[in-house]
């Protein structure tokens, strides 16, 4: 059990990659704080499934991660109810496609606040406790959009590139406190986000992926769990690309 007696906070844990990551960590002994923004019922269902399958404690916690005070309250609540946070998965995000010509400053602000400022807020809220205890493992979820040209996802791609930079820039100052921080850049993953994309686009994504299929959320959860575990004890500041070979292909 790689995460026995560890407390994990998974943001965006009510669906997709976050849900599968919460389940994966619980299956290996972690107590999990399942963060959600609006989908309280889905978060509660994830927690119930975790207890039913693994007999591990999991609780839902709400916060708008773009609101720094709300994040601080959430982290304090998690710590009070479950214990100090030792594992953090910064997964919550929103794509928010909009063409270059349609893009507004207001849309930019919203997407950046969710996908870059939000993860920063959560990281900054948990880091002092990790520093005090001389232990922490952090995984930030980026995207291959950070590595490619995405004019119709301009703020999302910029934010996800920022996540990679944030990860690298935090590596050295955190390492001296026995805190490792890495990121994962998923490709096209079969989550409910794809329900907003046309069937033709989904088929194009599949056809342009060298492995010939979409990724599964549990495959991303496996990568995240590896980066949180001591199996990756000499990896920090890195970004693992998990895209089925689809990296710079449009």
Contact call for residues 47 and 34 (beta carbons, < 8 A): yes
Spot the catalytic one: 51, 156, 226, 234: 156
Q: Where are the domains of the chain?
A: 7-242
Residues in the chain: 250
- Residue 6: pLDDT band by 50, 70, 90 thresholds? very high
CA 112 to chain CA centroid, nearest Å: 15
Q: What is the pLDDT of residues 92-136, one digit of tens each?
A: 988 877 888 999 999 999 999 999 999 999 999 999 999 999 999
Give the DSSP letter string of 13-61: TTSHHHHHHHHHHHHTT-EEEEEESS-HHHHHHHHHHHHHHH---EEEE
Q: What is the pLDDT of residues 181-221, one digit of tens each?
A: 999 999 999 988 777 667 887 888 888 899 999 999 999 99
> What pLDDT does residue 201 have?
77
User: Is residue 248 pLDDT above 70, yes or no?
Assistant: no
- Residue 150: pLDDT band by 50, 70, 90 thresholds? confident
β-partners of residue 36 are 62
How confident is the prediction for the chain on average, in pLDDT? 94
> What pLDDT does residue 197 have?
65
Nearest to 37 by CA among 99, 98, 110: 110
> What pLDDT does residue 32 have?
98
User: Is residue 249 pLDDT above 60, yes or no?
Assistant: no
| Top-level class of domain 7-242 | alpha beta
User: Is residue 232 pLDDT above 60, yes or no?
Assistant: yes
Q: What is the pLDDT of residues 27-81, one digit of tens each?
A: 999 999 999 999 999 999 999 999 999 999 999 999 999 999 999 999 999 999 9
User: Is residue 244 left, alpha or beta, with left meaning phi > 0 and alpha meaning psi from -120 to 50?
Assistant: left
Is the whole-model pTM more than 0.85? yes
Q: Quick check: is 156 catalytic?
A: yes
């Amino acid at each position: 059990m790689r995460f026995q007696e560890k407390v994990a906070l998974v943001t965006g844990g009510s669906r997709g990659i976050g849900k599968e990551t919460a389940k994966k960590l619980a299956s290996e002994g972690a107590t999990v704080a399942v963060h959600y923004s609006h989908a309280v019922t889905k978060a509660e269902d994830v927690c119930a499934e975790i207890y039913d399958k693994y007999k591990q404690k999991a609780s839902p916690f709400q916060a708008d991660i773009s609101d720094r005070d709300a994040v601080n309250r959430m982290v304090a609540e998690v710590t009070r109810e479950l214990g100090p946070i030792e594992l953090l998965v910064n997964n919550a995000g929103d794509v928010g496609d909009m063409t270059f010509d349609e893009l507004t400053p207001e849309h930019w602000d919203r997407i950046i606040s969710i996908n870059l400022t939000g993860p920063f807020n959560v990281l900054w809220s948990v880091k002092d406790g990790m520093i005090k205890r001389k232990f922490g493992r952090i995984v930030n979820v980026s995207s291959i959009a950070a590595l490619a040209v995405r004019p119709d996802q301009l703020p999302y791609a910029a934010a996800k590139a920022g996540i990679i930079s944030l990860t690298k820039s935090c590596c050295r100052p955190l390492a001296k406190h026995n805190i490792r921080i890495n990121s994962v850049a998923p490709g096209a993953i079969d989550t409910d986000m794809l329900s907003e994309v046309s069937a033709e686009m989904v088929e194009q994504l599949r056809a342009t992926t060298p492995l010939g299929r979409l990724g599964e959320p549990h495959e991303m959860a496996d990568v995240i769990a590896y980066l949180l575990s001591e199996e990756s004890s000499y990896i920090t500041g890195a970004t693992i690309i998990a895209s089925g070979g689809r990296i710079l292909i449009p």
